[in-house]
Amino acid sequence: MNIQPQWKQKYDVLKDYIRTNPEIHIDVSEVSIPEHLRDEFYKHFDEIRNLFIESSYASLPLEMDALCRNYIRFEMVQGKISVDDFEQMADSDLTATAAELYRLGYEAWAAITLILSLEPDGAFEVGLDEDHEPSVLELKEIAFGRQFHHPAKRIPEFIVHSKKLDRHIAVKMPLAREVDAYYIPFEIPKRMLKYRTGDTSYALDSRVMFLSILQDLKEIPVFLDMHTREIKSPDLTVEFLTQQDLASPDEIGQVQKRVEIMKPRLGGSIVVMNPEAAPDMVKPAGNMHAFAVGLNPLKLQPIVDKLA
C-alpha cells in the first residue's frame, strides 16, 4: 500500500476546501478568493508549502532549508502544471534557489561581521547637500544598497567611526552587476538618467563591498558620476565566493574585471564561503587576495587589518 506524502495529503484537503466553497474561482487564467475565505485558504496553502520543504530535507543542505519556506508553485493549484510536473521541476529548482538564497544571506552576514569587527562607536547616513555634494546625515537604519537618491552619482550608503582604527570608514554595497556597468565608454544623456535613483536595496542579488578610509567627513567619495564618467576608487573591495567559484576562470575573471574598473588602492579581497571544499583553485591576480573565512568571524580580521 502506497502512502501519500503528507504534503500531497494536505493538497487534497486544499482541493476539497476549494470544491466546498464555490465562491473561490481558480483556473489557468483567473484567481479569485473572497476576503472571508482567504485566511483559511492560505492556511492550507502554507501547510502544503512547509510539508513539502520538510519532505525535501534529505536532499537540501541543512543550513539552507529555512531559507526555502516560500517555495511552492501556485500554478499547480491553478491547474497550469500537474503534481508530477511540479515534483520534477522542484527537484532541480529548489536546490538551486536554496543555494542562491544562502549565498545572499552569507554576504549579509559577512558584511555585517566585517563592520562589527571595526568596533563602530558612531555612524552616519550619507546624503547630498544643495550642491549635490556628499554630506553626513543622521543614520536611522542600515539597508545594504540603499543610497541617497540621485540619477547619476553613486555614493557611500553610510559611514562608521571605527574605535579599533580611530578613523571613519565609508561603506557601500552595490550590486555586482551594477559595478560591471560602472565603466561608461561614452557620455549618457541626462534624459536617460532621469528615472535612476541609485537605490538597489530592493534587489536580491550578489553584492560587492566598497570600503574607503576618510581623512575628513567633508571629503566623502563619489564612487561614480555617470554623467561625467568619473570613478573614485575605494580603498578596498570585498567579494564573496564559494571554493567552487574559485575553481572557475570565468568567476575569477568577473571579479578581476570589477577590480580593474574600481582600482581599489589596497586591492580586492575575496571572502571564501566554504573553505572546507577543495577543488583546484584558480589563483587570483596579484591585486586580489582570497581569505578562507567560512563561518569563522575571526578569519575576517586580516581584511580589517588592511584598513589600519
Over residues 78-131, the pLDDT tens digits come to: 778 787 777 777 766 666 777 787 888 999 999 999 999 999 999 999 999 999
Q: What is the DSSP string of 210-276?
A: EEEEES-TT----SEETTTTEE---SEEEEEE-HHHHT-HHHHHHHHHHHHHH--TT-EEEEES-TT
Residue 77: the pLDDT is 77
Q: Can you give the C-alpha Rg of the chain in angstroms?
A: 24
Mean pLDDT of 184-211: 78
Is 198:149 a contact under the CB 8 Å cutoff?
A: yes
Q: Is the pTM of this model over 0.75?
A: no
β-bridge partners, 213: 169
- Here the cell at position 209 is 563591498
Give the DSSP H/E element, type plus range, for residue 120. Answer: strand 120-128
Burial 63-83 (b: 16+ CB within 10 A, else e): ebbebbeebbbeebbeeebee
Per-residue pLDDT of 38-88, as tens digits, reads 999 989 888 887 787 777 655 554 444 444 444 456 677 777 878 777 777
* Listed residue (236, 240, 249, 302) closest to 272, CA to CA: 240
Instruction: Measure Cα distances from 303 to 218, 286, 298 in Å.
Output: 25, 16, 10
Residue 115: the pLDDT is 97
Instruction: Measure Cα distances from 41 to 7, 68, 69, 70, 288 in Å.
Output: 15, 21, 17, 16, 52
Per-residue pLDDT of 20-29, as tens digits, reads 999 998 877 7
Torsion-angle region of residue 74: left (phi > 0), alpha (psi -120 to 50) or beta? alpha
Is 157:147 a contact under the CB 8 Å cutoff?
A: yes
- Phi, psi (degrees; rounded to nearest 5) at 293: -100, -50
